[in-house]
Structure 1
């Protein structure tokens, strides 16, 4: 598939750190929280999530970020706030980094994700149960990176988002079919995936 951003082996203007939010109350309760109506104000970080971030910051192994953009959901905002405070940075809410919307499955048990992923494997444009299509998620996530590539250079930029959107973005960046996004190893809460093209190596 074609993308609006370079493949990970291409030349990039910036370094990117892709981060899934810390363990949240939605994770703890095993429920799907994907709508702005709930996600913006409720279901922030759990105690486990706060502890994950303390440990992450105590052992930080990447370049210090110059900018932090985050989904405006509460769990991603609270994650980004802790990192921004540690590095003395401001926060930039970016709605295009929001959770994938799971339509009619909102509030259901998180084992229902598997229903969507089965359809994902067949069609990147499906809207089963009103879910946001893979292609739509890839487009909005990719637009964020494309805008940053156009407007900045030489920066380390932390993007704080959610599991499914990040898996979809990484699949697109790898030049693979979006239908195969669940073939990637699942991103764990509070994990960071660096994008470091070959041109940056050896700095």
Structure 2
């Protein structure tokens, strides 16, 4: 599945493909896994996620990546590894692509996402319940692209991350208020969104 957004006011030096990780064990269990304590070494891809990645790499429809950066969580690392194997690329862990930290809701049912998103709609700066602010996520995600733009030229770079950070990034790059990040079309597991 692919989504495209006209979100580049000036031409970029590189081409970017944004990828959400495949369906994970956290998705399967309906749990929030957002911190390194749980995310780095557990809650990898589910069997459904493995099947999604197998199908995706077998029927690749996007430009061939020349470089892959990924969140160092287990589910994103495993996702990136499928693509890396398909194209014979090495992986580069990038902690700035990690999941948004959901604070007090870590390990809790994912129904709590809605509570956080309601607060986001009022203020992208809020840190209630020890949640990472939308503004902070937007800044670190944009820093990844800014760094790559200053170091690279003419590459096709796959960035493997998580649903909330990618929707926040797309909102920021589109020049829309960060409080509206949930207005972005949802990014399904194992989906790729080209930055156009």
Query: So what's the TM-score if we normalise by structure 2?
Result: 0.96
| Counterpart residue number, 1:28 | 28
Whole-angstrom distance in 1 between the partners of 2:160 and 2:51: 17
Whole-angstrom distance in 2 between the partners of 1:88 and 1:107: 35
Task: Say which SS state the counterpart of residue 157 (structure 1) adopts.
Answer: strand
Q: Which runs of 5+ in 1 are unaligned?
A: 1-6, 197-203
Whole-angstrom distance in 1 between the partners of 2:107 and 2:8: 35
List per-residue Cα deviations over 1:131-168 (Å, max 9, x = no partner): 00000000000000000001001000000000000000
| Counterpart residue number, 2:68 | 68
Whole-angstrom distance in 2 between the partners of 1:8 and 1:128: 32
| Counterpart residue number, 1:105 | 105
Q: How many residues align?
A: 190
Task: Say which SS state the counterpart of residue 62 (structure 2) adopts.
Answer: coil
| Counterpart residue number, 2:153 | 153
| Counterpart residue number, 1:164 | 164
| Counterpart residue number, 1:178 | 178
Query: So what's the TM-score if we normalise by structure 1?
Result: 0.93
List per-residue Cα deviations over 1:31-50 (Å, max 9, x = no partner): 00001000000000000000
Task: Say which SS state the counterpart of residue 64 (structure 1) adopts.
Answer: coil
| Counterpart residue number, 1:143 | 143
Task: Say which SS state the counterpart of residue 43 (structure 2) adopts.
Answer: coil
Aligned counterparts, 1:1-12, within 5 A: 7-12=7-12
Aligned counterparts, 1:32-71, within 5 A: 32-71=32-71
Whole-angstrom distance in 2 between the partners of 1:24 and 1:155: 29
Q: Which runs of 5+ in 2 are unaligned?
A: 1-6
1:187 paired with 2:187, answer: yes
Structure 1 segments (4+ residues) deviating >3 Å? none
Whole-angstrom distance in 1 between the partners of 2:18 and 2:159: 5
**Shift, 1:9, TM fit:** 3.4
Whole-angstrom distance in 1 between the partners of 2:118 and 2:128: 10
| Counterpart residue number, 1:85 | 85
